[in-house]
């Protein structure tokens, strides 16, 4: 069984690194390191030796140029020993590693081309994220349903879950044929739903950003690259839930299972 090592990126406006690192530890990861982006850029740290890379939520570079755009440029063009930082991500993927992007980290993954990576095109942008249809920052809890046919290893065994969102640019946009392919290949592993009907919705505020087909997350075809707009690291214990004093909730928050699935996969397969 593998010793699980996770790296959690920090710096330049990322502000959820401690919660994300705590979630990895709570899920059973053996070694969890918080590493600053500039240490990667300076060659003082590397993704080598880690099976799980976490890109947490926050406001990279203050969302200048658009969410995660400035950091995307930095990771594509910063060279260390003749390789870009994006090349490190590609090599991590080629070795069978996992990548989890949450909110701002999801925005970074999409703009780097790590998701949806249709037909194995890792590093080729195929979609983007833009302003919520509401035209405002959305801070609310949403209900999600997992697709049991998705290849995503992070959502295995999950049926429904509640998680908070807090984003201004969460609407996934892509050419219609790309969106149709994502749906057909089950690479949208979580969707916003109407909790009364259990069906995917584009209706506001149940869907806080207006993404087509209710898609709240993306996975690549291997299931090892996963990004989502809701924050699983913000619901690890029942006391994180706004109704914890009024409902008989399980001790473990819904978001923890996403991290447990990653740790269990690594132990069993890497």
| Residues assigned a catalytic role | 103, 231, 233
Cα angle: 31, vertex 62, 99; to 5 degrees: 30
Residue pair 53/109 in contact (Cβ under 8 Å)? The answer is no
d(CA 122, CA 243): 40
- Please provide the DSSP assignment of 171-239 as one string: EEE--HHHHHHHHHTT---EEEEETTTTEE---TTTSSS--GGGB-EEE-TTS-EEEESS-GGG-SBGG
Residue pair 7/52 in contact (Cβ under 8 Å)? The answer is yes
- Residue among 269, 219, 262, 225 nearest 25 (CA): 262
Strands 52-55 and 5-10: parallel
């Amino acid at each position: 069984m593998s010793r699980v090592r996770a790296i959690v990126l920090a710096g330049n406006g990322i502000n959820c690194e401690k919660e994300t690192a705590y979630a990895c530890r709570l899920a059973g990861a053996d070694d969890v390191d918080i590493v600053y982006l500039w240490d990667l850029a300076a060659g003082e740290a590397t993704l080598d030796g880690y099976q799980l890379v976490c890109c947490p939520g926050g406001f990279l570079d203050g969302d200048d140029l658009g969410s995660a755009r400035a950091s995307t440029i930095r990771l594509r063009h910063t060279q260390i020993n003749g390789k870009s930082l994006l090349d490190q991500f590609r090599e991590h993927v080629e070795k069978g590693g996992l990548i989890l992007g949450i909110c701002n980290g999801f925005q970074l993954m999409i703009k780097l081309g790590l998701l949806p990576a249709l037909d194995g095109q890792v590093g080729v942008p195929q979609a983007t994220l833009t302003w919520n249809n509401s035209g405002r920052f959305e801070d609310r809890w949403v209900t999600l349903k997992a697709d049991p046919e998705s290849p995503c290893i992070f959502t295995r065994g999950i049926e429904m879950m509640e998680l908070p969102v807090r984003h201004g640019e969460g609407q996934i946009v892509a050419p219609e044929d790309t969106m149709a392919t994502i749906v057909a290949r089950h690479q949208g592993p979580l969707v916003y739903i109407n909790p009364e009907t259990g069906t995917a919705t584009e209706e506001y505020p149940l869907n806080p950003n207006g993404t087509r087909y209710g898609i709240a997350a993306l996975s690549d075809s291997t299931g090892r690259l996963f990004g989502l707009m809701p924050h699983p690291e913000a619901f690890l214990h029942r006391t994180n839930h706004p109704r914890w004093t009024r409902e008989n909730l399980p001790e473990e928050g819904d978001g923890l299972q996403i991290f447990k699935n990653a740790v269990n996969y690594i132990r069993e397969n890497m």
